[in-house]
Structure 1
Amino acid sequence: MAKKTIQRFLPDPNKIRHHKSLRIFGRLLHDANLWHLNRRSARGAFAVGLFFAFIPVPFQMVLAAAAAIILRVNLPISVALVWITNPLTMPPIFYGSYLVGTLVLNQPKQHFAFEASWAWFIESLTTIGPAFLVGSLVCASIASVIGYFGIDLIWRRSVRRAWGMRNN
């Protein structure tokens, strides 16, 4: 059940193999283990994808793909989960990460107004940057662990249910 549900939402492997930002991996993308879907590859892919979804860097897909290749987990899941942070969800997710960072570092919240400019970015590295980066790392780690164990639990329950129906 879990495998069929996940496969329904996976992007086409050929689209991923030929995605322009992932071409740098070349023949590494032809490893069959990166496309295989089992409990181990799914839980690792969820951990990788959720981790990089919360890391505020450009080219999250490339980093998730590199980690999936190194860890030999399902590449499409890793890359697809990065899109949890998209232009609509980034502001609330990254603001939440900033708030977590202020709690972890025990700093007061600072008022800021986002600007899409390098000048604002460089200036904010010294003001809100440390809290934001620490919060992002904490949220990425927590999401990664929850994703890993959550998918493992869902997968195991699904297999138990399937075996139970088989025996009846």
Structure 2
Amino acid sequence: MSFFRRWIPDQETLERSRWLAWLAPWLGQPALWVWSRHGVALGVSIGIFFGMLVPVAQIPASAVAAIVLRANLPAAAASTLVSNPVTFAPVYYLAYRLGNMVLEPTAPKSASEKDSEAEQKATELHQTIHGSEKVGFWQGIKMMGKPLMVGLAILAVSGGLLAYVLISLIWSAHQWYKMRSGKE
């Protein structure tokens, strides 16, 4: 736990943040700083949810949610970093693909049909980017936007739920191990 506490911001750091200064009156709540199984699991799940779903102002959004839900605030703020410049492209690509699968369920296609369909979508996207008259810019954004938003929502909810369950299980197993081995 000391490893994580070293990297997670403390109360004073968050109060000095220009994005979170307006939350200073609420940052003194003791429940926001307690390292309990439920508080940390909820904080991480909130952070992952906002980290995946909201492209900007993730930390303030997760801080507000942590205050309202009385989750561990440092865990919520730190776990928003699940989406960062390194993970951004793979996460958004996965979300786009997932959104397409959900929005366009089809019967199994042959490999040539899949290749043809992928080539057509790539051509439409290329034309959108380069301003072709066939597909307008806003139409292209709309084409990409809906599958991307659906995919991001699915990843955000499932990632948050999975994080809560995993942290709760790991925390409980750790506590059980400490109790069994007499290391209390």
- Normalising by structure 1, report the TM-score: 0.86
| Letter matched to residue 29 of structure 1 | L
In the alignment, the residues of structure 1 paired with residue 155 and residue 80 of structure 2 have an alpha-carbon distance, to the nearest angstrom, of 14
Give the drift of 1:32: 1.4
Deviation at 1:121, TM superposition (A): 8.7
Residue 102 of structure 1 pairs with residue 100 of structure 2: yes
Q: Distance in 1 between matches of 2:59 and 2:178?
A: 34
Distance (Å, rounded) in 2 between the aligned partners of 1:26 and 1:125: 38
Corresponding residue number in structure 2 for 1:17: 15
The 5-angstrom pairing of residues 17-166 of structure 1 reads 17-106=15-104, 110-111=121-122, 112=125, 124-166=140-182
Query: Considering only aligned residues, what root-mean-square deviation do their CA atoms show, in Å?
Result: 2.4
Q: Shift of residue 68 of structure 1?
A: 0.4
1:166 Cα deviation after fit: 0.4
Aligned-pair identity in percent equals 26
Residue 6 of structure 1 and its aligned partner are, at CA, apart by 3.6
| Offset at residue 17 of structure 1 (A) | 1.8
Distance 2:11 2:47 in 1: 16
Q: CA shift at 1:125, angstroms? A: 3.6
What is the alpha-carbon distance in structure 1 between the residues aligned to residue 140 and residue 75 of structure 2?
A: 33
- Greater C-alpha radius of gyration: 2
User: Deviation digits for residues 113-152 of structure 1, max 9, x if unmatched?
Assistant: 7x8xxxx995654120000000000000110011000000
Counterpart Cα distance in 2 of 1:42 and 1:122: 41
Cα deviation, residue 57, structure 1: 2.8
Residue identity opposite 2:157 in structure 1? S
Relative to structure 1, is the Cα distance of residues 33 and 121 closer, same or farther in structure 2, using a 3 angstrom cutoff?
A: farther
What displacement does 1:8 show?
Answer: 3.9
Q: Pick closer, same or farther for the CA change 1:121–1:91 going to 2, 3 Å.
A: farther
Distance in 2 between residues matched to 1:125 and 1:35, nearest whole Å: 41
Letter of the 1:65 counterpart: A
SS in 2 for 1:54: helix
Q: Give the direction of change, closer, same or farther, for the CA distance of 1:29–1:95 in structure 2 (3 Å limit).
A: same
**Tell me, which stretches of 5 or more residues in structure 1 are unaligned?**
none
What runs of 5+ residues in structure 2 fail to find an aligned partner? 106-116, 130-135
CA offset digits 1:82-125 (Å, max 9, x no partner): 11111221111111111111111117764347x8xxxx995654
